[in-house]
Amino acid sequence: MSDQFSYPTDREESSADRVGALERLLIEKGVITGETVDKVLAYFESEMTPLNGQKIVVKAWTDPDFAARVVVDTPAALAELDLPEGMAGAEGEHLQAVANAPGVHNLVICTLCSCFPWPVLGLPPYWYKDPVFRARAAREPRTVLTEIGVELSEDTEIKVWDSSGHSRWFVIPERPAGTDGFSEEQLMGLVTTESMMGVALAGQPS
């Protein structure tokens, strides 16, 4: 196994092929139906998406009181927002936010498998499950972040949070400079799934 990690592309395609083959087999054997698959996909396409996370981050960026509450009792703070009703029941009770700040950068991984904050980020990308990423990010997070383009100063503390069935971590990235006066929609456009995982910074205003 190579110690080098990069965002996989061909492996994503082969994984999708395997998932498709498994789906066809389960339907053929009568274990599930095509309707079941469609309902699950629609749920993640319309309810459990990164749009939820973007709303949370922008609220934290624009409301200091909320920003303080969301890292103390995340589920209670999220209950204040206009988010899908299914949030509380779909791993929502396990959500925990951490906030980047000057001199502190947070990185979310899962060393056991691929626990992920579905309600705020949707389904995890394939590379999040990559054993090389999981192992190296825990062992040498600064090196991994540098390799994928996140340049942090040497005096920046990197905190690694290990998601599990009990805690699904996500990151409130720092608000980019030069965004005073931006609308909520403009701010949301700067928040990516990767920035809420800590493998990227929030986008910069053009």
Catalytic, out of 2, 115, 167, 183? 115
- Residue 2 annotated to the active site: no
**Residue 94: predicted pLDDT:** 87
H or E element, residue 97 = strand 95-99
Question: H helices within the chain, ranges in order?
Answer: 10-28, 34-46, 50-62, 64-70, 74-78, 118-121, 131-139, 141-147, 184-188
Quick check: 88 pLDDT over 90? Answer: no
Question: Which DSSP letter does residue 54 get?
Answer: H
Q: What does the pLDDT average to over 77-86?
A: 82
What pLDDT score does 91 carry?
A: 55
- Selected catalytic residue, list 6, 46, 113, 183: 113
Render pLDDT for 161-192 as a digit per residue (tens, 0 to 9): 999 988 999 999 999 999 999 999 999 999 99
Is position 114 annotated as part of the catalytic site?
yes
pLDDT digits (tens, 9 = 90+) for 7-37: 544 444 455 566 566 657 666 767 666 665 4
Residues with Cβ within 8 Å of residue 182, at least 6 apart in sequence: 205
- 110 assigned ligand-binding residue: yes
Q: Tell me, what's the pLDDT at 14?
A: 54
Instruction: Give the Cα separation of 175 and 173 in Å (integer).
Output: 6
State residue 9's pLDDT score. 45
Local confidence band at 197 (pLDDT 50, 70, 90 cut-offs): very high
Separation between Cα atoms, residue 174 and residue 201, nearest integer Å = 8
**What are the helix and strand counts (H, E) for the chain?**
9, 4
pLDDT band at 203 (very low <50, low <70, confident <90, very high): very high
3-state secondary structure of 104: strand
pLDDT of residue 67: 98
If you average pLDDT over every residue of the chain, what do you get?
83
Better pLDDT: 206 or 40: 206
Paired with 107 in beta bridges are 160
At 155, is the pLDDT very low, low, confident or very high (cuts 50, 70, 90)? very high
Q: Which of 15, 110, 167, 195 is catalytic?
A: 110
Question: CATH number of the domain at 50-188, please?
Answer: 3.90.330.10
Q: Let me know: does 173 contact 186? Beta carbons within 8 Å.
A: no
Task: For residues 84 and 197, give the distance between their C-alpha atoms in angstroms, rounded to a whole number.
Answer: 21
195 annotated as belonging to a binding site for a ligand: no
**What is the mean predicted confidence (pLDDT) over 119-144?**
92
Show the tokens assigned to 151: 């340049």
Domain ranges of the chain: 8-46, 50-188
Do 184 and 62 form a contact (C-beta atoms < 8 A)? yes
The answer to the question of whether 114 is labelled as a binding residue is: yes
b/e per residue 135-150 (b: at least 16 CB within 10 A): bbbeeebeebbeeeeb
Q: Rounded to two decimals, what is the model's pTM?
A: 0.78
pLDDT tens for residues 48-61? 589 999 999 999 99
User: 6 a known binding residue?
Assistant: no
